[in-house]
């Protein structure tokens, strides 16, 4: 049976970059946040439930109104939980259907909040990507329209990197891309070996 490697790490650590490098080695990857966005856009059931929760403004001309939703959940954790309760089970079901179509020895599922949602037991192996906080902040500033303060407050709400690393089978310190690529090749071989010998 196909094994599942959970890929996680804090904001801007390089999860998606790492996932894409595994993909280049032939590993099927599932980026949960991207799939959630696609499902929020396309699933009629999610659309209905989000409109029930937040009102018609969730969608404008059939397009998900991200800024409206972001403004609603800003400082309202309970609303965020309610949205997650609508979206997460559908993403989980979508992942299970996707998984049945994969034939590789293992797949990678990128989940930003893997430890925060206590999902460790859903994975055969866990891989955490990490990088120094200042590096992560700078990478996100370069990539998004976010301020240093925004990013710091997201970091403060995430589990400390040390706790993620101590609960992981593999850790990638994503500093130089070249070193990360070499680490990925080694980890890929190690995972294949572990699967072969299990």
Q: Which residues make up the interface to ligand ATP (CB under 6 A)? A: 9, 11-17, 112, 139-140, 143, 174, 177, 180
Q: Which is nearer to ligand ATP, 65 or 135 (CB)?
A: 135
Q: Which is nearer to ligand ATP, 79 or 154 (CB)?
A: 154
Provide the minimum distance between the beta carbon of 195 and ligand ATP in the complex, in angstroms, as a whole number: 25
Instruction: Supply the Cα-derived Rg of the chain in whole angstroms.
Output: 18
Nearest to 159 by CA among 4, 53, 13, 3: 13
| Least distance to ligand ATP, CB of residue 48, Å | 28
Buried b (16+ CB within 10 A) or exposed e, 102-133: eeeebbbbbbbbbbeeebeeebbbbbbbbbeb
- Rounded to the nearest whole angstrom, what is the least distance from the CB of residue 14 to ligand ATP in the complex? 4
**Least CB distance to ligand ATP at residue 115 (A):** 14
Q: Which is nearer to ligand ATP, 16 or 43 (CB)?
A: 16
Closer residue to ligand ATP (CB): 122 or 173: 173
Structure tokens belonging to residue 62: 């059939």
Q: What is the largest CA-CA distance in the chain?
A: 53
- CB of 27 or CB of 112, closer to ligand ATP: 112
What is each CA distance from 156 to 61, 77, 152, 177, in whole angstroms? 36, 15, 6, 26
- If one counts every other C-beta atom within 10 angstroms of the C-beta of residue 1, the result is 8
Burial 64-77, CB ≥16 within 10 A → b, else e: bbeeebeebbeeee
Minimum CB distance to ligand ATP smaller for 54 or for 171: 171
Q: Provide the minimum distance between the beta carbon of 45 and ligand ATP in the complex, in angstroms, as a whole number.
A: 26
Q: CA 26, CA 33: separation in Å to the nearest integer?
A: 21
Least distance (Å) from ligand ATP to the CB of residue 178?
9
């Amino acid at each position: 049976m196909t094994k599942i490697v959970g890929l996680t790490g804090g904001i801007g650590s390089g999860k998606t970059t790492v996932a894409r490098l595994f993909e280049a080695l032939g590993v099927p990857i599932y980026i949960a946040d991207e799939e959630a966005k696609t499902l929020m856009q396309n699933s009629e059931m999610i659309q209905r439930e989000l409109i029930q929760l937040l009102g018609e403004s969730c969608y404008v001309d059939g397009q998900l109104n991200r800024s409206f939703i972001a403004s609603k959940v800003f400082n309202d954790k309970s609303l965020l939980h309610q949205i997650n309760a609508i979206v997460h089970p559908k993403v989980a079901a979508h992942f299970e259907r996707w998984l049945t179509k994969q034939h590789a020895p293992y797949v990678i599922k990128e989940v930003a909040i893997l430890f925060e949602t206590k999902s460790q037991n859903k994975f055969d192996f866990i891989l955490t990507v990490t990088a120094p906080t200042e590096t992560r902040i700078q990478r996100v500033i370069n990539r998004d329209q976010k301020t240093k303060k925004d990013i710091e407050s997201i970091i403060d709400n995430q589990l400390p990197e040390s706790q993620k690393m101590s609960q992981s089978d593999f850790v990638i310190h994503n500093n130089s891309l070249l070193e990360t690529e070499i680490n990925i090749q080694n980890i890929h071989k190690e995972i294949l070996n572990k699967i072969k010998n299990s």
